[in-house]
Chain A
């Protein structure tokens, strides 16, 4: 059974940093690209960042480029999102999600974690 469990969310002041983690199990982690998607309170889904299975390719939304860094440790089956220079508009539930296919491209997201809430406020 595929399981994705996010952690690391919390309250942080504007300009601060936070690192999210996503522990994966139930599939060959290193074979799949992984994605972070966020959802601001009462709003829709926003694609944030993705990383290839090997970790060699990373992708970002313009809204977070230069501030966020995605990475993975395939030996620990864990995905990360390092968030720096946080702003109020980064407040959201952050979901990690597994890509639906074993390829170098990005596809649909077939499994999602339950999310972790990040609140940026003074």
Chain B
């Protein structure tokens, strides 16, 4: 089973600043990685797939990069609605399609 490790667990950033979230796979997953956003009390929402492709309707301030074992989600200028928990998920080796433990993005 591939283990996905996200860092940091919590990230404090001020509105308007850039946020960088990391995700590491225990072995190579090529570019088969997705990022999801989950706000409190809501279902997760797909942000990025294929490591760098934005899902439909996702603002351009969200960008993904990386391949192999190291991946990054960058939010270029944080808006108030971006403060949430973010999860990465690999779909290269399955089952299972494992998730990271999440990064909570909070207002500084």
**Residues in chain A within 8 A of chain B (CB atoms):** 35, 37, 44-47, 50, 59-62, 95, 100, 105-115
Contact = CB atoms under 8 A, between A and B. Distances in A.
B1 to A, nearest CB: 8
Contacts of B42: 114
B89 A108 contact: yes
B20 interface: no
Contacts of B100: 44
A75 to B, nearest CB: 26
A109 B46 contact: yes
A71 B10 CA distance: 37
Chain B interface category by residue count: 20 to 34
Main secondary structure of the interface of B (DSSP, over half): loop
Nearest to B102: A44
Interface of B: 1, 32, 34, 36, 38, 42-46, 49-50, 55-56, 87, 89, 91, 94-102
A108 B49 contact: yes
8 contacts: A35-B97, A44-B101, A47-B89, A59-B95, A106-B91, A106-B94, A106-B95, A108-B46
A112 B97 CA distance: 15
Contact of B97 (A47, A95, A114): A47
B15 to A, nearest CB: 25
